Chains A and B, each alone.
Chain A
């Protein structure tokens, strides 16, 4: 086993010092000379015609520099379904519809101007339930939207998500046991501590620079360039500069109305315009996790081998379309491939309503569907009279497997994860007491080696080395706090034989950094890491070529360690790295060391049947929980929490633990306390008092178990870890509650009220 200097080390995050001293500049801290402040007026109705907008009073207010509405902006359509505009004209379809926007010299004047804008509405009937919205005669959210074979107006989106593997009907007939249940999951919010915002400005030639805490700098650049064209600015450039991100979790994987509004205000006023969301706006005007109504059936043979899995979902798409409508494409992953199940059917409908609309959120549909799948595994195991631990072992994925969706499993540590969790929970001894204390477990599969959701899954890296051995790495990757800056530095330092402190990682500017598809799908360590590795290898080659001459050795016999280039045959033959660099540079026909590498993993787009090897490799994990349920109050207390993850290789165990702790805590909130409450389309709890995020008093001690399967395709063997931490949390807890008190809750969050109601029902069935 190789002895690494930088890999596997608990190296502190590179920008931690900046953050802990208050020096880090987030979008809220960024000020530019002459900057104006933008604010947005939202709709007071869930569904209404806009009859008239009078902005004359607002425009007259001293300090106001521009007022925009859907009637005085160029036609920009955004979102992949192209059904959204930055400011609405004709009608409003939800409480978060942007109706007007103001730019003023200070935020208070902008706020005052909003109050002066008079809008006349004609209220329309609204629909807030996707199952209602599918019915004949339901109010149409987008009247011009047609679908189905007859191309009739409909609220059902033309996204017939459907996956068929094998023959589910046949398998069902031949199953010894079949479980059939309905699960429901609702909206939860990312709750990034730093609210959304951006700062847009144009240069004298009408090229745009936009400061944004985005997770997709390259794709955002393309979206904004398209917007410039729609504004009549064809050929003009968009430059995206990232400010330090105050939390991502998928909330910054699309481009948003407020960004286009900032751009339009900046263009109108010829001044920089910054928009920053209040916390209330962050709750009601940003897109939460995709809710779902899940109908699921699974079957098994007499000895507990899964025979089929049949899932049918209805998704509340809200008033407009963002990434929420694509989560089915990722929900298919656990549907087809969590545990070995030969026959699979998955279908999902996305339906417009007058509710808020959803986007990506950590897990991207997998926490939702895994709640249903892995809760039902316990239900099925009980029917079959098999311990849920044994049931999972019997059906566990294995290395080298090809799943029904054509995922090629390379490394797979699922069995080790299940065993570790069972051992830590003392499973065999402790399970089945039904005395108020119980244990439960659940597993996950996730992409671990990139995910080809777009045509490219690539990331570019450029490296340059200066005269003194400082290594500048320009990566397309995004750090949003998870630590990709540090992991990339560790990988480059290891590859090049320098120290981590010699490496400076820049990832902030589309004018400087190469293309990357984005910080999603837990792909950054794997893809950006491999990309950095590739560039570093080229740099090392150049360094060894140069040193070969001065040392009188052939490059194959040389290596670099701790800033010294030495001969492997005779380690006393050595020279410092800096000396080599300066000798190469300061001479006639000199050279400076630079290299680039674009890594695009060998994974596949899903084909027209939605099958294909989406990722180069997959991660697995199991969470186990011991809970105590208070039968008087319905409160669930977590006594023990164990999170086992197959990570390939822990490049930085400390940062990895941070991902697991953070993910699991988010998952516990998802399971027990968090809910964005909408009533007739209105968010009722847009604040931290009423939206229950876990505090330091609530989080249990989480024991992490790191299983290293050393993936051959990952950088130093690593696979992704960003999302897995919250994928199996909810079913693990639900299963533990069932073991504790015998009630099965199929709707999240599992609040004390729901537990009490279920306990009452159990003792006094109606």
Chain B
């Protein structure tokens, strides 16, 4: 029995009919064709599917889509500003070599955003904790940590 949900996605209102068992990840990738959010494991263990719900990071692969009713969701596609300028976190990731294959990047950037929105001047340990749920196989994390540090200075 399909249900209609009504929520804000990257600042825009969205109105969509979905099956009750649909995950937020499948809603974003398959129905709304926003493929920036990735599926890394489908079990909430790797963080590649991280999106922000009311500013807080969630693993969208295990998050019921119905639960976003009336709330605000931010995906990687929503990070640039209206004029198409990159968010300072995105800029820092590019400048500090924090991106190799890039598969973990959307989730990693959003976790970083959630961290810096809550804690604008984190210590290195707080940064490491903030992205502990985002696995990366390419970079060894160090340039990601450097990028987040640099972004925190700009914000």
Instruction: State whether A21 touches B90 (Cβ < 8 A).
Output: yes
- In the complex the two chains form, what is the Cα distance from A666 to B140 in whole Å? 8
Let me know if A678 is at the binding interface, CB within 8 A: no
Query: What A residues does B86 contact at CB under 8 A?
Result: 17, 20-21
- In the complex the two chains form, what is the Cα distance from A192 to B142 in whole Å? 18
Let me know if B53 is at the binding interface, CB within 8 A: no
Instruction: State whether B37 touches A279 (Cβ < 8 A).
Output: no
Query: What B residues does A193 contact at CB under 8 A?
Result: 38, 40, 46, 48, 101, 103-104, 135-138
Let me know if B27 is at the binding interface, CB within 8 A: no
Chain A, 629-659, CB within 8 A of any chain B CB: 654-655, 657-658
Instruction: State whether A665 touches B141 (Cβ < 8 A).
Output: yes
Chain B, 71-127, CB within 8 A of any chain A CB: 75-77, 79-80, 86, 90, 93-97, 99-106, 109, 127
Query: What B residues does A21 contact at CB under 8 A?
Result: 36, 76-77, 79-80, 86, 90
User: Interface code A472-487, partner B: CB below 8 Å = 1, 0 otherwise?
Assistant: 0000000011110000
Query: What B residues does A697 contact at CB under 8 A?
Result: 128-129, 132
Let me know if A16 is at the binding interface, CB within 8 A: yes
Instruction: State whether B77 touches A22 (Cβ < 8 A).
Output: yes
User: Interface code A258-295, partner B: CB below 8 Å = 1, 0 otherwise?
Assistant: 00000000000000000000110000000000000000
B140 interface neighbour in A22, A25, A245, A664, Cβ under 8 Å? A664
Instruction: State whether B38 touches A20 (Cβ < 8 A).
Output: no
- In the complex the two chains form, what is the Cα distance from A663 to B141 in whole Å? 11
Chain A, 688-725, CB within 8 A of any chain B CB: 688-689, 693-697, 699, 701-702
Query: What A residues does B4 contact at CB under 8 A?
Result: none
Query: What A residues does B39 contact at CB under 8 A?
Result: 28
Let me know if B34 is at the binding interface, CB within 8 A: yes
Minimum distance in angstroms from A729 CB to a CB of chain B: 11
Instruction: State whether A28 touches B38 (Cβ < 8 A).
Output: yes
Let me know if A13 is at the binding interface, CB within 8 A: yes
Tell me the nearest residue of chain B to A19, going by C-beta: B102
Query: What B residues does A18 contact at CB under 8 A?
Result: 102
Instruction: State whether B137 touches A191 (Cβ < 8 A).
Output: yes
Let me know if A224 is at the binding interface, CB within 8 A: no
Instruction: State whether A687 touches B135 (Cβ < 8 A).
Output: no
B38 interface neighbour in A194, A278, A480, A693, Cβ under 8 Å? A194
Query: What A residues does B141 contact at CB under 8 A?
Result: 661, 665, 694-696, 699
A-B contact count (CB 8 A): 170
Tell me the nearest residue of chain A to B78, going by C-beta: A22
* Given A21-B76, A22-B75, A697-B128: A657 touches B97 (CB 8 Å cut-off): yes
- In the complex the two chains form, what is the Cα distance from A207 to B74 in whole Å? 42
Let me know if A501 is at the binding interface, CB within 8 A: no
- In the complex the two chains form, what is the Cα distance from A232 to B112 in whole Å? 53
- In the complex the two chains form, what is the Cα distance from A687 to B99 in whole Å? 24
- In the complex the two chains form, what is the Cα distance from A195 to B80 in whole Å? 27
- In the complex the two chains form, what is the Cα distance from A564 to B8 in whole Å? 51
Let me know if B145 is at the binding interface, CB within 8 A: yes
Minimum distance in angstroms from A37 CB to a CB of chain B: 11
* Given A28-B39, A483-B100: A666 touches B142 (CB 8 Å cut-off): no
Let me know if A742 is at the binding interface, CB within 8 A: no
- In the complex the two chains form, what is the Cα distance from A703 to B105 in whole Å? 23
Tell me the nearest residue of chain A to B96, going by C-beta: A654
A661 interface neighbour in B34, B128, B131, B139, Cβ under 8 Å? B139
Instruction: State whether B95 touches A12 (Cβ < 8 A).
Output: yes
Query: What B residues does A17 contact at CB under 8 A?
Result: 86, 94
For chain B, what secondary structure do more than half of its interface residues adopt (helix, strand, loop), or is it mixed?
A: loop
- Which has the most chain B C-beta neighbours within 10 Å: A21, A25, A29, A195? A21
Instruction: State whether A657 touches B143 (Cβ < 8 A).
Output: yes
Query: What B residues does A661 contact at CB under 8 A?
Result: 139-143
Let me know if A23 is at the binding interface, CB within 8 A: yes
Instruction: State whether B142 touches A245 (Cβ < 8 A).
Output: no
Tell me the nearest residue of chain A to B76, going by C-beta: A22
Instruction: State whether B137 touches A696 (Cβ < 8 A).
Output: no
- In the complex the two chains form, what is the Cα distance from A687 to B45 in whole Å? 8
Instruction: State whether A481 touches B138 (Cβ < 8 A).
Output: yes
Let me know if B144 is at the binding interface, CB within 8 A: yes
B137 interface neighbour in A20, A29, A279, A666, Cβ under 8 Å? A666
Instruction: State whether B35 touches A29 (Cβ < 8 A).
Output: yes
Chain A, 585-630, CB within 8 A of any chain B CB: none
- In the complex the two chains form, what is the Cα distance from A555 to B43 in whole Å? 63
Query: What A residues does B104 contact at CB under 8 A?
Result: 193
Minimum distance in angstroms from A137 CB to a CB of chain B: 42
Tell me the nearest residue of chain A to B147, going by C-beta: A20
A residues in contact (CB < 8 Å) with B? 10, 12-13, 15-26, 28-29, 190-195, 244-249, 278-279, 480-483, 654-655, 657-658, 661-666, 687-689, 693-697, 699, 701-702
B residues in contact (CB < 8 Å) with A? 29, 34-43, 45-46, 48, 75-77, 79-80, 86, 90, 93-97, 99-106, 109, 127-129, 131-145
Q: Given A481-B99, A662-B137, 7 more contacts at CB 8 Å? A: A17-B94, A18-B102, A193-B103, A279-B40, A483-B100, A696-B127, A696-B132
Q: Show 25 A/B contacts (Cβ-Cβ < 8 Å), sorted by A.
A: A15-B102, A16-B99, A18-B102, A20-B93, A22-B35, A22-B77, A23-B36, A28-B35, A193-B38, A193-B46, A193-B138, A194-B38, A244-B101, A279-B43, A482-B100, A482-B138, A483-B100, A654-B143, A664-B140, A687-B41, A687-B45, A688-B46, A695-B135, A696-B131, A701-B142
